[in-house]
Amino acid sequence: MSGQPSKSARQPTDTFEVPQEFYDLLGSPTFAPSDNSANYSLIVKRMLESIRPKDFIERLFVRDLIDLTWEECRLRQIREALLAESRSAAVERLLYRKNLREVPEGAERIARAQAKEQFKDWTNDRAKQKEIEKDLNKHSQGEDQAILAASYSEIHKELESVKKSIAFAQQRRMALLREVEHRREFGQRARKASDEAVAMMPTKSP
């Protein structure tokens, strides 16, 4: 899915009007299947309303700032998606291990079948989910520690890679903001708008 932000993103409230030149600079972003283009449009809208670039130079900075802010938000969503997926895999794996200890030797297929049924209960029934998680965590030293540990072991390499990417994206965004701080009033507007955009974005894709 690609295209420029929706009209709602191009027409901020109040009397502030963005020249077409800015959207020519912004270009047509390409969205991945998991991206929510409405979130991108919301970032554009909110940042334009808050910063209100006054000239061509400010519009150049705002374009780059939108790109870096969007990149950081996307990476945060990827991190949350990884954690959610790894938690599901960890629960099913822990259920299988638990069942292995309770069935006769050589009955691995039975243990796996039981784990799959229990996993369905964990997925579909909120009450059973809490019961299963309590049981899996009962021998750990803190609430949810067993599942968290198993989740991390599933994706620790991928998670560390995403964390580094988030940190790098954040560093680039901060570096850009430092570049504009000599234009003090514009820098204040830009930093406030960018931080607010990152904070308001949901960490989970719909």
Per-residue pLDDT of 141-154, as tens digits, reads: 666 788 878 887 77
Residue 7 has pLDDT above 50, yes or no: no
At 34-81, the pLDDT tens digits run: 788 888 888 888 888 888 888 888 888 889 999 999 998 888 888 888
Q: How many other CB atoms are there within 10 angstroms of residue 65's CB atom?
A: 23
Residue 17 has pLDDT above 60, yes or no: yes
Helix pair 56-102, 108-124: axis angle to 10 deg = 140
Tokens encoding 78: 């990827």
Does the residue 26 lie in any domain? yes
> The tokens 């990149």 sit on which residue?
71
At 108-117, the pLDDT tens digits run: 888 888 889 9
Please give the tally of structural domains in the chain.
Answer: 1
Does the residue 182 lie in any domain? yes
Tokens encoding 88: 């599901």
| Calpha distance 190→181 (Å, rounded) | 9
Does the residue 2 lie in any domain? no
Which residues form the domain of 31? 7-200
Rounded to the nearest integer, the mean pLDDT of the chain is 81
Q: Which region, left, alpha or beta, applies to residue 197 given φ > 0 means left and ψ of -120 to 50 means alpha?
A: alpha
pLDDT of residue 149: 81
Q: How many residues are there in the chain?
A: 206
Residue 4 has pLDDT above 60, yes or no: no
Residue 5 has pLDDT above 80, yes or no: no
Residue 12 has pLDDT above 60, yes or no: no
Does the residue 178 lie in any domain? yes
Does the residue 206 lie in any domain? no
Does the residue 205 lie in any domain? no
pLDDT band for 168, please (50, 70, 90 cuts): very high
**Global confidence as pTM:** 0.64
Does the residue 1 lie in any domain? no
Query: What Rg value do the Cα atoms of the chain yield, rounded?
Result: 23
Does the residue 113 lie in any domain? yes
